[in-house]
Structure 1
């Protein structure tokens, strides 16, 4: 059985999607409570006027870092996917740099990152739908461009 087949089998676990939904809901509530779902607060942070969000992000980073470190050392696998806990290494290439730049510019212009944008809808920020539409358009464009590059690369190697 291939690695892709193993993942597909475990992702069809009946608790997989409900737990993803619950995790997303808890994340959204955390964003709302910490006020990271309010663009005006995030923009104050980005302009170094209100550094309270640094404590929110720093605290979350410490908890996640320690958790992933401990799980990686344990040698265990994730209960629903069966994948072993471990680091995913990605080389620093053009796509990473361009993607990070686009993400940063979008975050700076809208005052909110993609995850918090959805949570922001939950607290009544309907205007953020423009940003969400931009995220979908950008994701579609990125997929289209990547597919075009792959197809042109395959055609070049076939010649």
Structure 2
């Protein structure tokens, strides 16, 4: 049952990413190009996702277990520190340069977009470098 719910959730998420244009790097780059070919439509997609997330997290806070019976652990750290800011800057730079963030890149790669594969390779390399850096 857990695998079925995971599959269904992933399919719904992937379809939403495709429908919202999040798997199209040009659309992402146009959204981020405020002084050029700005396309504000992704702002509506993100606003809708935030609205859903607000209600989902509010419901999760009132529960101890998920629908599958697993324990729910929500983040408790509210500290804004250098690591958080630097991580946000690096994420934003990767998003702007590559036109992808991790979820849409996986969806785009599965539909044959070769630039998504390059993004995922770079993302995985960054994760390895990060882990090695923390081990020092």
The TM-score, its normalising length taken from structure 1, stands at 0.74
Aligned residue pairs: how many? 133
List gaps (5 residues or longer) in structure 2.
none
- Residues 117 and 128 in structure 1, CA contact (< 8 A), matched pair in contact too: yes
The equivalences for 1:68-79 within 5 A come to 68-72=57-61, 74-79=62-67
- Residues 78 and 85 in structure 1, CA contact (< 8 A), matched pair in contact too: no
Aligned to 2:2: 16
Residues 144, 87 of structure 1: CA spacing in aligned structure 2 closer, same or farther, 3 A cutoff?
closer
* 1:20, distance to aligned residue in structure 2 (A): 2.7
Note if 1:32 corresponds to 2:32: no
Task: Give the greater-gyration-radius structure (CA).
Answer: 1
The TM-score, its normalising length taken from structure 2, stands at 0.85
Note the alpha carbon deviations across 1:46-92, whole angstroms, 9 max, x for none.
113111111111011101101211331x3442233532464532422
In 1, distance between residues paired with 2:106 and 2:9?
Answer: 14
Q: Give the counterpart of 2:47 among 48, 55, 58.
A: 58
List gaps (5 residues or longer) in structure 1.
1-14, 149-159
Greater displacement, 24-33 / 81-90: 81-90
RMSD: 2.0
- Residues 71 and 85 in structure 1, CA contact (< 8 A), matched pair in contact too: no
